[in-house]
Structure 1
Amino acid sequence: MGYVTLAGAIAAEVAATTAMKYSHGLSRLWPSLLTAFGYVVSFLLLSQTLKSLSIGTAYAIWSGVGTAAIAVLGLMLFGEGLTVTKVAGILLIVAGVVVLNLGGAH
């Protein structure tokens, strides 16, 4: 169940961060409200995740997958460039999450 709530926390964080981009510096009401709501939901779900997963593993997955997802959305929605450095960074994030999970963190 921990990984299900973690997936929800990641989805809420990614939605909130994307809404923040659309809020134009929190100057537009609805994207700003969605940003706040998404972060609240994300932290609530992350806190539930910590009941069954270790904090190191949960936070690494939450932040790593969220960062990689936002980078991909930046490419798809906002026309951000794709560089070798950006690809390497995303791959390193994914590798770090995998290594933490293989390391036996509970």
Structure 2
Amino acid sequence: MYQRHLAAFGSECCCRRDELVLAVDVWVTDHLPLPHPAATMHTETLGAVIARLAEAQVHAYHLLMTIDPADPAVHAAWYRLAELVDGYTDLTTDLARRARRLPALGDHR
């Protein structure tokens, strides 16, 4: 019974995450300045980047709270999170400067 409840919660969580990713992507599409014609394409939408960043933060925090903080896995998770934050910062800076563009939303809108 517990496993079925956990699976249903995971599915509900996944659907909610997808809704939030789409909401971010729609907002970004409506509010970002148009990219420069020579702007390079990023591989993910901003909503997907934020979701990946949030997932990495939850993972790093979970490890910190559940295993020995000196464990190399804890350091690796926080290091990965820092890399993602740097990438997010670079992406948002490039978007504001119109030097990057994001993938189209397709038929979501």
The structure with more radius of gyration: 2
Q: Which has the higher contact order (CA 8 A, sep 6+)?
A: 2
TM-score (norm 1): 0.48
The structure richer in helix per residue is 1
TM-score (norm 2): 0.48
